[in-house]
Amino acid sequence: MTTTVQPTGSGTPTPAASEKRNIIGSVMHLRELPVILALVALVLVTWAINPLFLSPQGVKDMLLNATIVMILAVGQAIVIITRNVDLSVGSILGLVAFGTGTLFVSFPGIPIVAVFILGMVFGALLGAVNGLLVTLAKVPALVITLGTLYIYRGLNNAWAGGTQYFADDRPEAFGNLSVDTVLGFPLITLMAVFVVVIVAIFMAGARSGRDLYAIGSDPDAARVFGIPVTKRVLLAFVANGVLAGLAGVLYTSRFNSVGATTGTGLELDVVAAAVVGGVAIFGGSGSVVGAAFGALLLTTITGALTAVRVDKFWQQAIVGVLILASIVIDRIASVRTARRLRVSEARDV
Amino acid sequence: MSETVTAPPPTGTISALAPKKRSRAARLLLGRDAIMIYALLVFVLYACISIPRFASPVTVGFLLLDVIPVLLIAMPMTLVIITGEIDLSVASIAGLTSALMGVLWQAGLDMPLVLAISVAAGVVAGAFNGFLIAVVGLPSLAVTIGTLALFRGLALVVIGDNAVANFPPDLTAFFTSKIGGTGIPTVMIGVLIVMVFFGVLLHFTPFGRGLYALGYSKEAARFVGIKVARSKFWLYVATGSVSALAGVYWTLRYSSARSDNASGLELAVIAAVLLGGVSIFGGKGSIPGVIAGVLLIGTINYALRLGRVSDVVLIIVTGTLLILSVVTPSIFASVRRWQHDRQVRNSLPQVTTSGSTRAEHPAH
């Protein structure tokens, strides 16, 4: 179908040269580039000041801290790309984490795999409630998920009451998931990386993944084009629920106690990680890999500040500045793209 | 008021005008605001009758003292959401103000100077939001998530994990004092002034009416001569200033300046504003409706607490109310659309036949 636009003129550069320039050009225009550069710079500067930062233990801590927010940010990115948002992830994580703790106490011999599956199914159900409310009632996701943020948290409070489950209540093998390492990488981090890769391939390659971008760019156009918008948005919320469920199970493995307030206030950190990672807040652009790097950057800052002995109180202010910087960078990039498109369209005419 | 009692026009036109006239009265009595106010009144009545110890001046006092921060911030927030924007950084501005107050007071400054500097910080914070959103043109949701972290972070930088509690006792006593035996807190006078100010600004000034136009369509608003950027900028300055006032109130009411004061309040404010009938898409909403929404959540929470229902259920109630308040109108709208579609189909039966013949056509 593209054969008709074969360039014929002699003025075009040789294929090899243009390809090379394209690769460099596309790397330069990667939305993930700023966040990756910032992460590399942060790690290098911190390492230069305090070499212990990149010791095996330092790296392990850095990755462990990032794992849970990373998974949540990937899920959030899927939802934000469709021009929605899910503020209830902190509450979903809390419910699933407490559910995981309860499972281990109520069924002492339960296989760990079963716990993972149940946690993700539970998360999927909670995500599906969000998705159904958003798609059927046609109400903005911001409002619906703000409501379910409260409701899920309330359910968690009602369920847990004053009860807390501690690491002693869980089998040692489960806790070891966040202690054991392979080649310096903690097991749960490897799981997170695996998730990122799978979701990234789906978002980049699968038809339904590409549909999510179309919906986020222009929901009406997507509907006219024949994309099942309702189904796809529901899919995005369910996927986010599954990932929040997974994060909930991993949270239980990583942290000592789970209770009524587990995961409170996490939602804005997660949205921030996605935004810092180059996911446009109004949908249609960005990638889950970027969101994962955003999460890694935001969580690494805490460790880096401690390593260079900056007052820990500065951490949150720096996170704020980073979020603002990434929005400004995104705006500059989109203005540039718009200008380039205008120029190239004018030339084509 | 006077338009409704004009002399009825003669003969035949009456039937044509009647529904229009009714709709004007109906709009006041059956509108979204009115329903919120009825809901509030019904609930207050129910609580007075069935919940022991509810109907007393003590109730009024504690209930109002609890809702004042949300009530204050909800006023400018209503205007911001009506223009189709949002401000998530309000609670962080309140926290920053509180932290500043603590540090400045600790440093030995006079109270008026402390108050002036703290409120000025809120104004500057609001102007910073306004600059990024209105002048640079960045999306408000993203910007205020950033400043939510930034201002809360600055509060931490200012005061660390200290708490300052030694504010002058007569001042903190004033902030919890009541007007005579009514049980109404004295500070409600100030809150009332803020409420009236934003009510008049939104409903009775060209600036305020322009905000609705802005919420419906930015382009159209620009064409009719509304200064879009300037309006938005001043709205964010307003949210910053009022959030600072709420921060001052919070500090002196609880007599404690900490960096995490008022954290999480932004979601409570937005929930109350949306419950009060403001559309998150912009262009719809009113100050009386929002006041009723804030008081309804406050009253339900207080009543449940009196009835020994745990805090657990409270947040479930808030969330459910919020979802119901947005889902119900949308269900009504879709039922109405379905009825309308059916009417249209019934009145135009030929459409289906012509459609079917056209569908057969390409087969030949």
Nearest CB to B153: which of A137, A271, A317?
A317
Q: CB of A49 within 8 Å of any CB in chain B?
A: no
pLDDT category, A76, cuts 50, 70, 90?
very high
Q: What is the mean pLDDT of residues A62-89?
A: 91
Of residues A135 and B32, more confidently modeled: A135
| Average pLDDT estimate for B278-305 | 88
Mean predicted confidence (pLDDT) in A299-321: 82
pLDDT for A97 equals 92
pLDDT at B139 over 90: no
pLDDT: is B158 or A329 the higher one? Answer: B158
Q: Mean pLDDT, to the nearest integer, of B262-273?
A: 84
Is the model's pLDDT at B5 over the cut of 50? no
Q: Domain B35-321 belongs to what architecture?
A: Orthogonal Bundle (1.10)
- Enter the DSSP assignment of B135: I
Lowest mean pLDDT segment, chosen from A48-57, A271-280, B276-285: A48-57
Residue B75 pLDDT more than 90? yes
pLDDT in tens, B186-236: 889 999 999 999 999 999 999 999 999 998 888 888 888 888 899 999 999
pLDDT of residue A289: 92
Q: Which positions ≥6 away from A206 have C-beta within 8 Å?
A: none
User: B2 pLDDT exceeds 60?
Assistant: no
CA distance B319 to chain A (A): 4
Cβ contact, residue pair A151, B160, below 8 Å: no
Segment 249-268 of chain B within 8 Å of chain A by CB: 263-264, 267
Q: Which residue has the higher pLDDT, A266 or B328?
A: A266
The beta-carbon neighbor of A319 closest among B153, B317, B326 is: B153
Q: From the CB of residue B13, how many other CB atoms can be counted at a distance below 10 Å?
A: 10
Instruction: Identify the burial level of B107 via C-beta atoms within 10 angstroms of its C-beta, where 0-12 means exposed, 13-18 middle and 19 or more buried.
Output: exposed
Task: Report the first-to-last Cα separation within chain A, whole angstroms.
Answer: 20
Task: Check CB contact under 8 Å for B323 and A140.
Answer: no
B260 φ, ψ to 5°? Answer: -100, 15
Residues A277-291 have a mean pLDDT of 87
> Is the CB of B148 less than 8 angstroms away from the CB of A268?
yes
What is the 8-class DSSP label of residue A285? -
More confident residue, A14 or B269: B269
CA atoms within 13 A on the CB side of B214: 24
How many beta-carbon pairs below 8 A join chains A and B? 147
Section A30-44 average pLDDT: 83
Closest residue in B to A261 (Cα–Cα) = B312
Residue B16 confidence class, pLDDT cut points 50, 70, 90: very low
What is the number of other CB atoms lying within 10 angstroms of the CB of residue B257? 32
Residue A8, both tokens: 């014929």
Distance from C-alpha of B2 to C-alpha of B16, rounded to nearest angstrom: 20
Please write the tens of the pLDDT for every residue from A38-59.
Answer: 888 888 888 888 887 888 888 8
- Band (pLDDT 50/70/90 cuts) for residue B122 is very high
Determine the Cα–Cα distance for residues A166 and A119; give it in Å rounded to an integer.
Answer: 18
B283 interfacial to chain A (CB closer than 8 Å): no
Which pLDDT value is given to residue B71?
94
Query: Which residues touch B360 (CB under 8 Å, ≥6 apart)?
Result: none
Is the CB of A154 less than 8 angstroms away from the CB of B281?
no
Distance of CA B144 to the CA centre of its chain: 17
**In this predicted structure, what is the pLDDT of residue A19?**
58
Among candidates A140, A155, A319 on the partner chain, residue whose Cβ is nearest the Cβ of B149: A319
Tell me how far apart the alpha carbons of residues A318 and A302 are, in angstroms, rounded to a whole number.
10
- Per-residue pLDDT band at A298 (split at 50, 70, 90): confident
What would the pLDDT profile of B142-198 be if each residue is shown by its tens digit?
899 889 889 999 999 999 888 888 888 888 888 888 887 777 888 899 999 999 999
DSSP conformation letters of A177-216: TTT-EETTEEHHHHHHHHHHHHHHHHHHHSHHHHHHHHHH
pLDDT in tens, A206-234: 888 899 999 998 888 988 988 888 999 99
Interface contact B271-A314, CB threshold 8 A: no
Angle at B68 between CA B40 and CA B145, to 5 degrees: 105
Q: CB–CB of A327 and B274 under 8 A?
A: no
How much is the average pLDDT of A51-75? 86
Q: Which residue has the tokens 């994962």?
A: A292
The answer to whether A214 and A83 are in contact (CB under 8 A) is no
Mean local confidence (pLDDT), A282-287 = 85
Return the pLDDT at B279.
Answer: 85
Q: Which residues of B touch A311 (CB under 8 A)?
A: 157, 160
Mean pLDDT of B39-49: 88
Chain A, residues 59-88, CB within 8 A of chain B, namely 85, 87
Instruction: For residue A320, name the pLDDT band (cuts at 50, 70, 90).
Output: confident
Question: Residue B20 pLDDT > 90, yes or no?
Answer: no
Domains and CATH numbers, chain A: 32-343 (1.10.3470)
pLDDT band per the 50, 70, 90 thresholds, residue B343: confident
Whether A335 and chain B come into contact, CB under 8 Å, resolves to no
pLDDT at A13 (0 to 100):
47
Report whether pLDDT(B344) > 50.
yes
Does ipTM top 0.90? no
Per-range mean pLDDT, top range of A305-314, B125-134, B341-350? B125-134
B chain contacts of residue A327, beta-carbon cutoff 8 Å: 138-139, 142-143, 146
B138 CB within 8 Å of a chain A CB: yes
Q: Which of the residue ranges A147-161, A198-212, B45-59, B94-108 would you say has the lowest mean pLDDT?
A: B45-59
Q: What is the pLDDT averaged over residues B54-60?
A: 80
Q: Which residues of B touch A261 (CB under 8 A)?
A: none
Q: b/e string for B180-200 if b means 16 or more Cβ within 10 A?
A: eeebbbebbeebeebbeebbe
Whether A331 and B136 lie within 8 Å, measured CB to CB: yes
Nearest to B247 by CA among B266, B229, B224: B266
Residue A258: φ, ψ to 5°: -125, 140
- Of the pLDDT bands very low, low, confident and very high (cuts 50, 70, 90), residue B359 is very low
**Mean per-residue pLDDT of chain B:** 83
Between the ranges A98-102, A181-185, B353-357, where is the mean pLDDT highest? A98-102
Whether residue A313 and residue B136 make contact (CB cut-off 8 A), yes or no, is no
Residues of B in contact with A151 (CB under 8 A): 315-316, 319-320, 323
What pLDDT sits at residue B114? Answer: 93
The interface residues of chain A toward chain B in range 281-320, judged by CB-CB distance below 8 A, are 281-282, 311, 313-320
Residue in B with minimal Cα distance to A140: B280
Tell me if B143 and A146 make a contact (CB, 8 A cut-off): no
**According to the model, what pLDDT value does residue B62 have?**
85
Residue A14, classed as helix, strand or coil, is coil
Mutual angle of helices B265-275 and A141-160, in 10-degree steps? 120
Flag whether pLDDT at B15 surpasses 70: no
pLDDT value, residue A175: 78
More confident residue, A327 or A197: A197
Flag if B146 and A315 touch (Cβ within 8 Å). no
Residue of A nearest to B88 (CA): A268
Distances (CA, A) of A160 to A155, A195, A273, B158, B312: 8, 29, 29, 36, 10
Taking the Cβ of residue B281 and every Cβ of chain A, the question of whether any pair is shorter than 8 Å is answered with yes
Rg from Cα positions in chain B: 25
Yes or no: say if B148 and A317 are a contact pair by the CB < 8 Å rule.
no
Partner A contacted by B332 (CB < 8 A): no
- Which whole number is the average pLDDT over A99-114? 87
CB A85 within 8 A of CB B139: no
Put simply, whether A334 touches B (Cβ < 8 Å) is: no
φ/ψ region of A184 (left if φ > 0, alpha if ψ in -120 to 50, else beta) reads left
pLDDT of residue B8: 44
- Which residue from B138, B271, B327 is facing A146, i.e. has the nearest CB? B271
